[in-house]
Structure 1
């Protein structure tokens, strides 16, 4: 089952990336995150990541990285 969509209107201005960790936690990122060395997580400098929402644990967390959609 795919993760619930993020509400990008809640993302801080200029935070244009989001991803979900294996434990289900979603984070907003100011810079594009990279895979964490330990596995199961996305990482960015702590000043560039902010908790967004809690979701269900996701074994497909690697496929969750997304960029803010273009405004129309």
Structure 2
């Protein structure tokens, strides 16, 4: 996915890399896949994980409820 593509909702799980079982959106609207479960950033507005365990998934609209966006890959 190119960085200028806007998403109307969460990215499709079919696009998730194998073994990347978490998805979350930052307050600025950026979605990321995570290999390990992320945690809310200390300053707020972002999810955090080791950078090797985080991969850009797309750009959506800013989300004031970013801290409620964490999803685990469906079974």
Asked if these proteins are the same fold (TM beyond 0.5), I'd say: yes
- In structure 2, how many angstroms separate the alpha carbons of the residues matched to 1:40 and 1:19? 11
**Residue aligned with 1:62, SS:** helix
**Segments of 4+ moved more than 3 angstroms:** none
Mark the runs of 5 or more structure 2 residues left unpaired by the alignment.
1-7
Q: What is the Cα-based RMSD across aligned positions, in Å?
A: 1.0
- In structure 2, how many angstroms separate the alpha carbons of the residues matched to 1:61 and 1:5? 12
2:65 aligned to which of 54, 60, 67: 60
**Residue aligned with 2:52, SS:** helix
The residue number in structure 2 matching 1:34 is 39
